[in-house]
Chains A and B, each alone.
Chain A
Amino acid sequence: MLKIRQPTTRSPNEAAPRASRRGFLTGAAAAAGAIVIGFRLDLGKARAEGADLAAVKAQPNAFVRIGADDTVTVIVKHLDMGQGNTTGLATILADELDADWSTVRTEFAPADAALYNNLLMGPIQGTGGSTAVANSWMQLRKAGAAAREMLVAAAAFAWKVPVAEITVENGVVRHAGSNRQARFGELAASAASLPVPQEPRLKDPSQWRLIGQRVPRLDSKMKTDGSAVYALDTRRTGQVTAVIARAPRFGATVKGFDDAQARKVAGVIDVVAIPTGVAVIARDTWAAMKGREALKVTWDESAAESRSSDAILAEYRETAKRPGIVASERGDAGAGIKSAAQVLEAEFSFPYLAHAAMEPLNATIERAPDGTYDIYAGLQFQTIEQATAAAILGVTPDKVRLHTQWAGGSFGRRATPSADYIAEAAEILKASGAKAPVHLVWTREDDMTGGYYRPTVYHKIRAGLDAKGAVTGWQHVMVGKSIMIGSPFEAMLVKNGVDGTTVEGASDTAYALPAYRFEVHNAREGVPVLWWRSVGHTHTAHAMEVMIDELAHAAKVDPVAYRLSLLANAPRLSGALKLAAEKANWGNGQDKAGEKGRGLGVAVHESFGSYVAMVADVTAGTGSIKVNRIVAAVDVGIAVNPDIVRSQVEGAVGFALSSVLRNRVTLKDGVVQEKNFDAYEPTRMSEMPVVEVHIVPSQAAPTGIGEPGVPVLAPAISNAVFAATGQRLRALPLDLAGLKGV
């Protein structure tokens, strides 16, 4: 029998008493007699729009806790989804503190935007835009330095010696003159009672012992013995597991469902409707999945997106023929092209991409006996997640505690402006009467077909060259769905119809193009889109860097030299480019580009304040390519942990390669076709090129490296394929089926 059902409105029962196994503050006892310190600063004042900078003041208890057992616990306000920021952030604080690295631990911060907001994001706690180290740099240095000064002051008082005569090294405070010393743990309690210095003296870079060194990752052991607890490993006492039957087409809603068979499946406990579908609640994941298979749902598809991705892209091509919103303009590009000796025209298309993090989306939510709530997940947008769950549950945000867990990747997917999967977990808890903690699991198929993709995008470029090969004009039209329009960030991040996260990397190109016009069309469609590791740069860098390469070849100028000639006013970009070219033996006759079917390609791009150049060495044959080697040069300012910087660039290559070679999410009549790793196959071991990463020495403040390795890979490879074969493969993924070997 088919029945219409609304989410249940039973009064919530008291949940089972909370297990203390992973209670966030079980370390509270250890914190007794400990020093707690930290404060918020005005870093990023110019960029942190909306931050209430006047309210910034010293905030003890925010970033470091020193236990009587000498343990130094650094509080990490960001999600670590693999980018290694827990180690990097702890390094910054520990260095200024002069801590013994072997005693350093980390703990993820609770939700508290007042203490833990991202200083580059405004008044929001969240992780993204490769900002973790960049926004925390001075905040954590000052926190570490202030803690150190308090420990020194405590020792000076106890020993009745001048502060200036005290030294600190490796977690030990010493006074050489009186031959006295004490460990941090011995001083922590007395130091905690001292006033917090507001402007502690920071180290000179020559005094750094950890920053700039290869400090071992703090998470290596726990991630190699099975003990690291990811969100999907959350096990609350009495928890039930839920999976959701979602509509096959985006925008469809539940018309009705028949759960008679589902309820007969062993282990199924309940079936409830929520706004995004019908949730099957069971004693374990397997039973929930079996129950969902037996569930019959009918969908109202009257408002659903039912087009195919090919049709959407074809519409974009038509849209690009019409004038768009001018996102940036200098000079008269049309006149420049009209006066050109030769005009090149190229189009670039990009598919929807799934993030496909190894740990599928999931969240666990529990109601405490006092009517407050706890959420355990790979939380990436804490302020929004907390507020969203609170609104659903009918409480104020402070009644929802967040417990950020290790995340098995994200690549942007866990930070949604709608807090989508957190909202689902809250809805299920509410609809099920909050009888038991709910562990919501997205299966791989749910994760792959659930939307929030990197948008499909179309770029069309016309560029003119004069007789000497100099650019006379560049007209650029882009069509794609804005990530921000329609989100809570629209007012903040969309200016005059231009979404900066969509056009970044092209509308603000650093190339000295004398006449440049960039127009954008914001497509309207029903497919939910989201940032995907490096956001707009995933497509803008490819379009720009392939086109520049085409111009270089048309001008008969070496592609590195041609770029450098246009980057005279961009020293950090040209610095990275020169270093990569040098290390790759570019143009010096020692590379292997002379081999038949083999070629080198180059690309350089700035994203999130970091500058990355790559040279790809590719062997191209009929219908396939092999990427042999990638030589990368990166300028991230001060490399807090050079080994992690290198690992992020190596990983960016492995991550992005499959999107160059094959990955695409396609819709047929609105239904996503790729449901698992067989149809959407990430890079595998045998495909991984050798990656060499060189770091440009710098004294500039550190910027991020989680994302900036991604944008340059595709154009470097595409340009190498051209060098090897003379064929331009512009679309991503590369049209390898059309490639002819030489």
Chain B
Amino acid sequence: MTTDTPRPPPRPRFFGAWGPRELKGLFWQVLVVAIVVGVVGFLWSNTVTNLSARRITTGFAFLGREAGMPIADSLLAYNPRDTYLWAFVVGVGNTLRVAVIGIVLATILGTLIGISRLSANWLLSRLAAVYVETLRDIPLLLQLLFWYVLMQALPAARAAWRPIDGVFLSNRGLILPAIPLGPPQLWVLGTAAVGLAVVYLIRRWLVAQQMRDGKLRPVWPFAVSFILALPVLVSILLRVSWTIEWPQLRGFNFVGGLTLAPEYFALLIALVTYTSAFIAEIVRSGIQSVPRGQWDAANALGLRRSFMLRQIILPQALRVIVPPMTSQYLNLTKNSSLAVAIGYQDVVSIANTTLNQTGQAIEAIALIMAVFLTISLSISFFMNWYNSRIALVER
């Protein structure tokens, strides 16, 4: 090969800084954007024509009208004379009620099962594996319908099952004894919440002190005094009563206590058991991801078991656990929309009724999507914040 041929001079660029590569990129972008704009514009103009042909006025004015739909079971107070807007808010409340409680219960159950799968007890770990495999491989909607059928097959209120005294399980749902919460009780609970925040700050300060001089300072005296003793003191001083209200059978139904309607109870069971199977796998792989050397090193230092789990193992496992856990929480929230199949009135079900009553399809579906996008984004925002807090800090 000849090496002494001079390199050809660079080709002059015709468009200044715009080389062929940039031009090609620009071409593709313009093409794709034009196609997207064209398709959206086409659909939009069709929609406008169709809506005017069907004499449907667009816009959210219908939200101010009287809804007139019954909502049997709701967290927020509602009556059919309220507006569609309030009905929507009640629906969001119902969605959040099942999603938040579902997330808490699924996390607890999933963690227990995930730990059981790692147990040295062969029987326990096999049972946990069967639980996970079975629930993961059957569609959630089928499980939901199954639980709902079982709820409906329960005996009537008069012949209700009583697994524990005061707890009734019948085709009216699950009825539990409850403590009625009025303003005085809420004040006491508020004190406990403030106490929790104070203890959190104290703990941060104590840890900062420990970083400086290496002395371990116990947090529990503060925790006991602020979270437990202070609220107890307040409730004694203000004479707040904490009587338990026991449910009573009157006629064909129960009076008093806390009622979980069959629809709500079936949806909660289905969501919790289904999601817990996925969480169990996440927890298991998280714990297994901590290298053996970490256990051995902690043992070699003579750390107590609980201290070792809390300070050595969990922080490392959480790093693996948190990101997939976030998507499970998002899945549970989105899956709560299956409520529409059994008639629990969450936001999707209420939007669906609204759609049928008013014909405002676009607005109703846009509201559903807006609600879920907001919930999804807030959960992922919170979990990203938490994840960045526990992430590995490398120099």
Does chain A bind chain B? no
* A contact set with B: CB distance below 8 Å: none
- Interface of B with A (CB < 8 Å)? none
